[in-house]
Chain A
Amino acid sequence: MPENPLAEPKWTLPESTELARLTREAMFAAVQVNLERLGPEKRWAELVNDPAMPLLSAEDGKRVAQLVFAQFQEIEGRKLYAGCEIAVKERPDLYVLRSAVQELEPRTDWPEGVLGDGDNVFQASEDVEGTVMVVREVSQVDQLMREGVPDETIAVIDDAGGTMTAPILEEFTGVVCLAGTVRSHLAIISREMGVPVLMGVRLRRNLETGERVRVQYSVEGQNVDAYFGDEIKPRAEIVGVGS
């Protein structure tokens, strides 16, 4: 029986997610079935580049995806996470937005009044007080593009990319981003625009549109070498105002 030459490496490492393990196992299984179907007379070198894709066809791809999703749902009890909105809109049967199930920081020693903290991208001249606007959907951006962003708006964004809020980013007084690092695209663009931004924000509770907060944009920017194990600068805090 022909065997996949990659099937049994001497040294292995586990996959770090169930989805990765299931997908790898399903792809290997599909290749093995095809090898057995093709028979022992076929050499690997004849198959590996065959444009007819005898090792893994387009149909195999569909079957692998269906099998993995079924197994994944059984094990994890949920749909797949998607980062982009269009994926959920087109395939609500398959996806849920990752940001919709964002977990709060399980820290118990939050100082009084502090609602969250994050890595400051650059040191602004002063802290900023403003009104929270949670911006999660492309349609919101479209509306803000047409109607303008209200003064003193601090946008709460769960997307570290630089494109979701592209047409209106400069109009925000400050940005609180629930993902990413100080090298993320959003951080790069905000820095160029001079719009204060915190990245990788952890929240004590979800911030709501309309509430007033003060953000410590005047603290030192996070040290980029912190990601390589160097000294980590203190995180900037978000403090509730008024209520």
Chain B
Amino acid sequence: MSEWRIDEEQLLQLNARLQRTDDVLIHNCLTRTAQESKLFPIMPYLMMCFFDAYYRFPDLLRTATARITPEEIGHRARESGCNLSKLTMWGTLNFYLNGRTSLIKAGLLRPEDNLEDLWFMVDYHHRVMRAYQRASAQVWTLDSWDIAQSHEERTLQVFEADAFEADDSLRSAATRFVAAATQYNFLVHCESRVGLQASGPYSLGDQLLMHTRDFLNMSECDFSWLDGVGTDVPYNNLTMVLITNRVGIEITDWGTPYTSPENYQERIVGVGLYSSDYLTDGYVPVGMDSQTDLADTLRALTDQIRRATRRLYGRFAEMSFDQMVEAGIYVYFQAAADAVHMAGEYSQIEWETIDDRTRRFWPIYNEEYSLDAYIANFGVVDGMQSSDSEYYLHPVSYGVWRRGGGAGPLPGPARGFTVPAHVLADHGYTQRVNADGLDSVAGYSSLPPKSGGYTFTCGRLDEDEMNERARAFTTPVLEEPWRGLDHASIKYRWRDPEVEGLYRHSQRRSRLVQGRGSSLRRTDLERIRDEAGEAPWSRIAAGAAEASR
């Protein structure tokens, strides 16, 4: 039995974080998207995954943090495209908190219950995110007005230098790939965007922006429904680099890019493609030998993805309602899994099982009530437990009221659940939801058991091989002295041999800046491209501006 106690400094910090987390949640949910789907029972799986997250995330993540720190998890996630992304990290905390909210609203939990778990989850998330977004030094994308910069200069220079100018053929191939991969990814993830991710935008001067798009979990991986369906898709994770001219880009806390104009495809001027995962040391180029090679690679991938889409559609169409709910729960629940993967502690059965405590809500959370509960928790925010004092104004809904010209009555005093300050003196609350850890947790799955492998850039592995390699994984990027070299260090220490070594390591797979070291500036990239016979981006932008006159 834990004797953990919270002090006042921690409590105030915790409540400030809970409040900001809730405000960001409500802001993003205001325009949230598919609340119903003809194919998937979205709302039941979404609302019930929150319970599973509440009951099991803390202890599952403790198994990861026993081996690697939250900071190391964040750093590793930044250095490769893996399922630990802005969205899944957002989900790891929010799904847990949403479970807490639902249990409080059902009369089954007090806001102060399982306080140690609550502290652990909020602290874990913020530590991971601060490391992941070390460059921007912000936890929430919303706090940087939807600029989601996570990559550092040494990675961005390679992306910029090596991207190919998009002629009509490459632009068309890239556009079609993005469309097919986006659609397939929604299907793989049961109508959710969990496997889609973006980073940026990053300034390339003039009117040029660079951003990256990650397409995750596309081949045989943790999802059993991809066994034999996604097998022909050769890469589990792909990262596309897109350079655009005269396109406004914003990227939300859910990792979704929005562009203005919306049909930005004709303004793509540069494209690159990489594969990576938590077992690669950085990004591995795919089809990057030539402009033609890249276009051909993208077309081949698009065909493979389209075929997989059709096969997967058929597989889902054969599932029962309960199986589809389970699949959806598993997709959302998987948000936290890559931390455990990185630690080499992943067990398929542990993640695919639905907790008995969640199962009891199965008949209650029918299609209509699940939608009502979703709207009550994250949209209009109402219900018996949801009111603060009568003076309270919710920052998001009050903001909408103001921006709408003050039409209609003020929004009600709805608010999420912080932790009451009486916990500082009254310790009659529980510490952890599972007093005995995961040993006391019971549940089952009705999905077909996983039969395929797990796809990595290094090949397809089984569960034991995957865990073994994860435990053995090392990269000098995350070890001293390189780990401690961020932008603020490099600004004044760019001539130091350690910095030079770090940059050369990041450039080792680059076709144009290999071995160039840490003194590179963007003007050097322009010159290097010119010398290699490839148009510098400024010239491409000038040409586009000329053509548009």
Q: In the docked arrangement, what's the CA distance between A160 and B432, Å?
A: 39
Question: Residue A169 at the B interface, CB < 8 A?
Answer: yes
Q: Are A160 and B36 in contact (CB under 8 A)?
A: yes
Q: Are A86 and B33 in contact (CB under 8 A)?
A: no
Q: In the docked arrangement, what's the CA distance between A94 and B261, Å?
A: 44
- Which of B104, B256, B382, B428 is A15 in contact with, Cβ under 8 Å? B382
Q: Are A83 and B36 in contact (CB under 8 A)?
A: yes
Q: Are A192 and B106 in contact (CB under 8 A)?
A: no
Which residues on A are within 8 Å of B, measured CB to CB?
4-7, 9, 11-17, 19-20, 23-24, 27-28, 31, 43-45, 48-49, 51, 53, 55-58, 60-62, 64-66, 68-69, 80-87, 90-91, 94-95, 98-99, 121-124, 136-138, 141-142, 145, 158-164, 166-167, 169-170, 179-189, 191-194, 221, 224, 227-230
Q: In the docked arrangement, what's the CA distance between A138 and B31, Å?
A: 26
| Interface contacts beyond A56-B360, A61-B362: sample of 18 additional A-B pairs, CB < 8 Å, sorted by A | A4-B107, A11-B389, A14-B382, A14-B384, A19-B369, A20-B372, A24-B106, A31-B106, A58-B356, A64-B363, A83-B36, A87-B41, A160-B33, A162-B182, A180-B33, A183-B256, A189-B182, A229-B402
Residues of B within 8 Å of A19, CB to CB, are 368-369, 372
Residues of A within 8 Å of B444, CB to CB, are none
Q: Are B364 and A142 in contact (CB under 8 A)?
A: no
Q: Are A12 and B387 in contact (CB under 8 A)?
A: yes
Q: Are B361 and A230 in contact (CB under 8 A)?
A: no
Q: Are A138 and B309 in contact (CB under 8 A)?
A: no
- Which of A51, A58, A138, A161 is B317 in contact with, Cβ under 8 Å? A138
Q: In the docked arrangement, what's the CA distance between A55 and B414, Å?
A: 26
Residues of B within 8 Å of A45, CB to CB, are 113, 428-430
Residues of A within 8 Å of B33, CB to CB, are 160, 180-181, 183-185, 187-188
Question: Which residues 373-400 of B have a CB within 8 angstroms of A?
Answer: 373, 375-376, 380, 382-390, 399-400
Residues of A within 8 Å of B321, CB to CB, are 84, 86-87, 90-91
- Which of B179, B262, B313, B356 is A141 in contact with, Cβ under 8 Å? B313
Question: Residue B110 at the A interface, CB < 8 A?
Answer: yes
Q: In the docked arrangement, what's the CA distance between A229 and B402, Å?
A: 8
Question: Residue B495 at the A interface, CB < 8 A?
Answer: no
Question: Residue B310 at the A interface, CB < 8 A?
Answer: yes
Q: Mark B343-382, 1 if CB is under 8 A from A, else 0.
A: 0000000000000110111111011110111011000101
Q: Are B262 and A16 in contact (CB under 8 A)?
A: no
Q: Are B361 and A162 in contact (CB under 8 A)?
A: no
Question: Residue B475 at the A interface, CB < 8 A?
Answer: no
- Which of B113, B175, B256, B434 is A188 in contact with, Cβ under 8 Å? B256
Residues of A within 8 Å of B376, CB to CB, are 15-17, 20
- The 24 sampled A-B contact pairs (Cβ below 8 Å) are A6-B104, A48-B108, A48-B110, A48-B113, A49-B432, A58-B356, A58-B359, A61-B359, A61-B364, A83-B36, A83-B42, A84-B367, A122-B263, A124-B263, A161-B40, A162-B183, A162-B186, A162-B191, A166-B313, A180-B33, A185-B34, A189-B186, A193-B179, A229-B401
Residues of B within 8 Å of A58, CB to CB, are 356, 359-360
Q: Are A9 and B385 in contact (CB under 8 A)?
A: yes
Cβ of B433 to closest chain A Cβ, rounded Å: 5
Nearest residue (CB) in A for B192 is A185
Q: Are A83 and B193 in contact (CB under 8 A)?
A: no
Question: Residue B2 at the A interface, CB < 8 A?
Answer: no
Question: Residue B114 at the A interface, CB < 8 A?
Answer: yes
Q: Are A51 and B310 in contact (CB under 8 A)?
A: no
Q: Are B313 and A167 in contact (CB under 8 A)?
A: yes
Most interface-central of B178, B186, B190 (chain A CB within 10 A): B186
Question: Residue B37 at the A interface, CB < 8 A?
Answer: yes
Question: Residue B442 at the A interface, CB < 8 A?
Answer: yes
Residues of B within 8 Å of A23, CB to CB, are 364, 369, 372-373
- Which of B179, B385, B390, B400 is A229 in contact with, Cβ under 8 Å? B400
Residues of A within 8 Å of B380, CB to CB, are 16
Nearest residue (CB) in A for B254 is A183
Residues of B within 8 Å of A4, CB to CB, are 107
Q: Are A83 and B41 in contact (CB under 8 A)?
A: yes
Residues of B within 8 Å of A7, CB to CB, are 107
Question: Residue B39 at the A interface, CB < 8 A?
Answer: yes
Question: Residue B403 at the A interface, CB < 8 A?
Answer: yes
Using A49-B114, A166-B187, A180-B34 as known contacts, say yes or no to A192 and B179 having CB atoms under 8 A apart: yes
Q: Are B187 and A163 in contact (CB under 8 A)?
A: yes
Q: In the docked arrangement, what's the CA distance between A15 and B379, Å?
A: 12
Residues of B within 8 Å of A16, CB to CB, are 372, 375-376, 380, 382
Q: Are B106 and A27 in contact (CB under 8 A)?
A: yes
Using A48-B430, A49-B433, A230-B403 as known contacts, say yes or no to A185 and B38 having CB atoms under 8 A apart: no
Question: Residue B30 at the A interface, CB < 8 A?
Answer: yes
Question: Residue B489 at the A interface, CB < 8 A?
Answer: no
Q: In the docked arrangement, what's the CA distance between A134 and B16, Å?
A: 49
Residues of A within 8 Å of B382, CB to CB, are 13-16
- Which of B31, B175, B375, B402 is A227 in contact with, Cβ under 8 Å? B31
Nearest residue (CB) in B for A44 is B110
Cβ of B533 to closest chain A Cβ, rounded Å: 32
Residues of A within 8 Å of B104, CB to CB, are 6
Residues of B within 8 Å of A184, CB to CB, are 33-34
Question: Residue B13 at the A interface, CB < 8 A?
Answer: no
Q: Mark B101-130, 1 if CB is under 8 A from A, else 0.
A: 000111111100110000000000000000
Q: In the docked arrangement, what's the CA distance between A67 and B294, Å?
A: 60
Q: In the docked arrangement, what's the CA distance between A16 and B386, Å?
A: 12
Using A15-B382, A28-B107, A48-B430 as known contacts, say yes or no to A122 and B360 having CB atoms under 8 A apart: no
Question: Residue B404 at the A interface, CB < 8 A?
Answer: yes
Residues of A within 8 Å of B40, CB to CB, are 84, 161, 163
Using A24-B105, A84-B42, A160-B36 as known contacts, say yes or no to A221 and B359 having CB atoms under 8 A apart: no
Q: Are B38 and A161 in contact (CB under 8 A)?
A: yes
Nearest residue (CB) in B for A61 is B360
Q: Are B367 and A228 in contact (CB under 8 A)?
A: no
Most interface-central of B110, B182, B183, B190 (chain A CB within 10 A): B183
Q: Which 10 A-B pairs have the closest CB atoms?
A: A83-B36, A229-B403, A161-B37, A122-B262, A229-B404, A65-B363, A161-B34, A11-B387, A82-B367, A192-B179
Q: In the docked arrangement, what's the CA distance between A141 and B309, Å?
A: 13
- Which of B107, B182, B310, B387 is A6 in contact with, Cβ under 8 Å? B107
Residues of A within 8 Å of B320, CB to CB, are 86, 90
- Which of B39, B362, B405 is A164 in contact with, Cβ under 8 Å? B39
Residues of A within 8 Å of B265, CB to CB, are 192, 194
Residues of A within 8 Å of B410, CB to CB, are none
Cβ of B525 to closest chain A Cβ, rounded Å: 28
Q: In the docked arrangement, what's the CA distance between A193 and B178, Å?
A: 8
Residues of B within 8 Å of A28, CB to CB, are 106-107
Q: In the docked arrangement, what's the CA distance between A56 and B375, Å?
A: 24
Nearest residue (CB) in B for A137 is B38
Q: In the docked arrangement, what's the CA distance between A163 and B229, Å?
A: 16
Residues of A within 8 Å of B36, CB to CB, are 83-84, 98, 159-161, 179
Q: In the docked arrangement, what's the CA distance between A90 and B404, Å?
A: 43
Cβ of A149 to closest chain B Cβ, rounded Å: 14
Q: Are B434 and A95 in contact (CB under 8 A)?
A: no
